[in-house]
């Protein structure tokens, strides 16, 4: 399992998730986007519609008729009803169910730094967990400490 930690410093999750969603689809993968808060899911839903008008990102929400067919599924829990192997934890909260995905994107802000450090250390004890850290630098994402 690969876990990418995205520390937000300039943009909110609603700006970052569409970038991760586009990259996931380009890699040929379905994506589950998890946020417990309904307002955050709503903001991400709107961003997926509007982020890149020239290239709509098809998506749906958990509990809808065609949820299983959606390439990007928004959900309140870490349950992959669309068969996704990639997962974005858009609210910065780690869930043990994420361990079942091939790739996880943990998007977090300053308010979750200590909690996220604990997740980083916890993943060190999981065999096969490959951790990567990303931060914004001048509006671009770069990998590093």
Q: pLDDT (tens digit, 9 = 90+) per residue, 125-144? A: 999 999 999 998 887 899 98
What is the predicted pLDDT for the residue at 71? Answer: 97
pLDDT-derived band at 116, boundaries 50, 70, 90: very high
Alpha-carbon gap, residue 73 to 61, rounded angstroms: 5
The predicted pLDDT at position 105 comes to: 99
Region 51-74: mean pLDDT is 87
Q: Does position 50 have pLDDT exceeding 90, yes or no? A: no
Region 101-112 average pLDDT: 97
- C-alpha atoms less than 13 angstroms from C-alpha of 99 in its C-beta half-sphere: 13
Confirm if 92 and 112 have CB atoms less than 8 A apart: yes
Question: Any bridge partners for residue 31, and if so which?
Answer: 72, 86
| Confidence band for 10, pLDDT divided at 50, 70 and 90 | confident
Question: What integer pLDDT is reported at residue 75 of this predicted model?
Answer: 98
Q: In the numeric block, which tokens belong to residue 9?
A: 């410093």
Query: Both tokens of residue 110?
Result: 């300053």
Strand 103-108 versus strand 2-7 pairing type: parallel
Neighbours of 9 (CB within 10 A): 10
Are 21 and 72 in contact by the 8 Å Cβ rule? The answer is yes
What's the pLDDT score for residue 47? 93
> Sorting pLDDT into bands at 50, 70 and 90, what band is 13?
very high
Structural domain boundaries in the chain: 2-143
Helices (H) then strands (E): counts for the chain = 3, 8
Contact status, residue 21 vs residue 48, Cβ threshold 8 Å: yes
pLDDT at 137: 84
Identify the pLDDT of residue 45.
Answer: 95
CATH 3.10.310.40 given to domain 2-143: no
Residue 129 is predicted with a pLDDT of 96
Q: How far apart are CA 100 and CA 46, in angstroms?
A: 28
Per the CB < 8 A criterion, the answer to whether 70 and 48 are in contact is no
pLDDT at 54 over 90: no
């Amino acid at each position: 399992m690969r876990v990418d930690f995205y520390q937000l410093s300039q943009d909110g999750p609603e700006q970052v998730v569409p970038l991760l969603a586009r990259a996931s689809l380009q890699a040929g993968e379905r994506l589950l986007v998890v946020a417990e808060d309904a307002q955050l899911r709503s903001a991400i839903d709107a961003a997926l519609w509007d982020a890149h008008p020239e290239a709509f990102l098809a998506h749906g929400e958990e509990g809808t008729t065609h949820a299983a067919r959606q390439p990007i599924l928004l959900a309140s829990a870490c349950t992959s009803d669309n068969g996704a192997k990639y997962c974005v934890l858009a609210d910065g909260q780690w869930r043990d169910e994420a361990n079942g995905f091939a790739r996880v994107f943990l998007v977090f802000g300053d308010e979750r730094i200590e909690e996220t450090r604990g997740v980083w250390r916890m993943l060190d004890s999981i065999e096969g967990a490959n951790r990567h850290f990303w931060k914004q630098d001048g509006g671009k994402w770069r990998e590093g400490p």
